[in-house]
Amino acid sequence: MNFKEELEKRTCRAEQVIRKYLPAEEGFSKNLIKAMNYSMEAGGKRLRPVFLGEMYHIFGGQEELAEPFMAAIEMIHTHSLIHDDLPAIDNDEYRRGKKTTHIVFGESAAILAGDALLNYAYETALKGFSLAKNSREMERTAKALQILAEKTGIRGMLGGQSVDVENDGRPLKRELLDYIYVNKTSALIEASLMAGAVLAGAEELKEIETMGRYIGLAFQIQDDILDVTGDQEELGKSVGSDEKNHKTTYVTLEGMEKAGQEVERLTGEALELLSGFPGDKEFLRELFLFLCTRRK
């Protein structure tokens, strides 16, 4: 398997699915929709929809039932980035190689665009019911929606984000930093893997959830490393923002060497869990390893 070719193929597929579900830029709220689509069309790794689609196929999914959820998970993620970049939070000017939404459309429009994307994500995921062919698929769609809602909400991404913002600029202990990372970053990766598996009929989700947690933590710690060592042009976003905002990260807490070792350990734990699942797992295995060593 040529991993780069396969990754490009899956990323392009995710891109096609996302664009298929974007709202038309029309009506009196056209400017709001433009701001939403500007952020969604800015590119990025499309990691979460790729995860969701891959788990769907690993567990035997064949049809397009996963598509609305692939688009929805990226909408939820992009909503969080729009709000993350706002002056009240990280005050960043670049995201995915482009000016951030609040720089282009203004702060109030960016707030509303983030809100609208979060709501539109659920409008999109609900379209899964019209694609379900029988009662079994209807039940799977409902369960996937529940996963999405829980992992996005107060006990997931938004809960982690709130604790991060509340403690902005304060020194953090490892326990609190882990809580922020598990919820702010890992929760949506867990949701992607779990929802994809559920839509294909998987029932035992604990190991999938744990695998997502390990990969989410590894991904965030690698992000911390890149914020120190990366290049803005290569990353497509501002670097050094953690230091600028006096944020405690795994790097500031444990040091660069230990941070790198933790990324490797967590990735290894995730790979061990992955090996126990059915289906062709080669691409997902290579993707986990790629994330451990990525430069952007």
Give me the sign of the Cα torsion angle 184, 189, 194, 196. Answer: positive
Of 14-23, 206-215, 236-245, 280-289, the range with the lowest mean pLDDT is: 236-245
Tell which phi-psi region holds residue 171, choosing left (phi > 0), alpha (psi between -120 and 50) or beta: beta
Which percentage of the chain shows pLDDT scores above 90?
A: 85
Residue-wise pLDDT for 63-92, tens only, equals 899 999 999 999 999 999 999 999 999 899
**pLDDT reading at 296 higher than 90:** no
E runs forming strands in 18-128: 94-95, 98-99
Side chain identity, residue 253? L
Cα separation, 158 vs 74, whole angstroms: 15
Residue with tokens 């038309």: 24
d(CA 191, CA 150): 9
Q: What is the pLDDT of residue 256?
A: 93
Reading the block at residue 234, the tokens are 């290569």
Distance, in Å, from the CA atom of 72 to the CA atom of 66, rounded to the nearest integer, reads 10
The residue type at 39:
S
CB 52 within 8 A of CB 196: yes
96 pLDDT band (50/70/90 cuts)? Answer: confident
Does the structure show a pLDDT above 90 at 113? yes
What is the distance between the alpha carbons of residues 40 and 32, in angstroms, rounded to a whole number?
13
* Tens of pLDDT, residues 117-133: 999 999 999 999 999 99
Examine the pLDDT at 292 and tell me if it is beyond 90: no
The answer to whether the CB of 126 falls within 8 A of the CB of 145 is yes
* pTM of the complete model: 0.93
As to burial, measured by CB atoms within 10 angstroms (0-12 exposed, 13-18 middle, 19+ buried), residue 122 is middle
Q: Is residue 275 pLDDT above 50, yes or no?
A: yes
Per-residue model confidence (pLDDT) at position 238:
52
Alpha-carbon gap, residue 156 to 216, rounded angstroms? 12
